[in-house]
Structure 1
């Protein structure tokens, strides 16, 4: 299956085997402008279709509050689910605890291993496809 890719100076997106992957190209603290560019680029590659997103957060320090608020409001469009790859078990625990309290509009879960994140997304995708049939 062909891989579809888009990128800017900050992030690269690719769709492979029905999963949307992303990788940051720089290490920094993300701003509101950065998150808007990320969301716009993700919408571009999604082409109006919902995706299962494997969001590799390693390499990114954090996003400022304005960016986080914007992502919370506008960042869940065109998503079935999002698996976030984090660089530590402590960060994963904090994120997953926050997710339990926040109850996002789409399934969201933190992982410390890419393989586990992809497996979770594939399982959700399989369940959703069986439910549609």
Structure 2
């Protein structure tokens, strides 16, 4: 099992069992500058290889529009799929409804339990490995 990791002032990444995990180290506001730093660090850890990402949103206080636009434009590289762990069933519902309408290039789905998020990522990984 290869484990790679990296962190900056506000987020920590690590790879375990072929899944990229992240969690915020402190309450963080999602500004464009913060999102750029997050995406740059994720790209460094990915080292040019696509990842299945389990993205824990606990600790993110908000994302401003510039940050969302930046992430939408620049945050898809080096990803097979992204499972987002949220602390609210309502937020999960809204995110999943929006993603169904948007039909993103990289599958993204919200969860309230880490175990369910990891299970979904592993299912996608198995399907992709069979192709």
For Structure 1 versus Structure 2, the TM-score category normalised by the shorter chain is: over 0.9
Match of 2:60, SS state, is coil
TM-score with structure 2 length normalisation?
0.97
Note the 1:78-93 alignment, pairs <5 A.
78-93=78-93
TM-score with structure 1 length normalisation?
0.96
Q: Give, in whole Å, the separation in 2 of the partners of 1:34 and 1:26.
A: 13
Aligned to 1:73: 73
TM-align CA RMSD: 0.7
Which aligned segments of 4 or more residues in structure 1 are displaced greater than 6 angstroms?
Answer: none
Q: Give, in whole Å, the separation in 1 of the partners of 2:37 and 2:28.
A: 15
Aligned to 1:49: 49
Where in structure 2 are there 5+ consecutive unaligned residues? Answer: none
Aligned to 2:94: 94
Note the 1:114-125 alignment, pairs <5 A.
114-125=114-125
Is the aligned partner of 1:40 residue 2:47? no
How many residues get paired?
A: 131
